[in-house]
Chains A and B, each alone.
Chain A
Amino acid sequence: GAVVSQHPSRVICKSGTSVKIECRSLDFQATTMFWYRQFPKQSLMLMATSNEGSKATYEQGVEKDKFLINHASLTLSTLTVTSAHPEDSSFYICSARAGTSGGRQYFGPGTRLTVT
Chain B
Amino acid sequence: KQEVTQIPAALSVPEGENLVLNCSFTDSAIYNLQWFRQDPGKGLTSLLLIQSSQREQTSGRLNASLDKSSGRSTLYIAASQPGDSATYLCAVRRVNTDKLIFGTGTRLQVFP
Contacts and interface: CB of A to CB of B under 8 A. Distances in A.
Given A43-B103, A43-B104, A49-B98, A110 B42 contact: yes
B41 A110 contact: yes
B98 A32 contact: yes
Interface in A46-104: 46, 49, 91, 93, 95, 97, 101-102, 104
B2 to A, nearest CB: 12
B99 A46 contact: yes
B43 A108 contact: yes
B7 to A, nearest CB: 14
Nearest to B103: A43
Chain A contact surface mostly = strand
Interface residues of B, number: 19
B25 interface: no
A34 B98 contact: yes
A29 interface: no
Interface residues of A, number: 24
B43 A44 contact: no
B98 A43 contact: no
A107 interface: yes
A18 interface: no
B77 interface: no
Closest 8 CB pairs of A and B: A109-B43, A107-B44, A43-B102, A110-B43, A44-B102, A107-B43, A43-B104, A108-B43
Given A34-B100, A44-B102, A104-B34, 11 more contacts: A34-B98, A44-B89, A49-B99, A93-B44, A95-B100, A104-B46, A105-B100, A106-B46, A107-B45, A107-B46, A110-B41
Interface of B: 31, 34, 36, 41-46, 49, 89, 91, 98-100, 102-105
Interface of A: 1, 6, 32, 34, 42-46, 49, 91, 93, 95, 97, 101-102, 104-110, 112
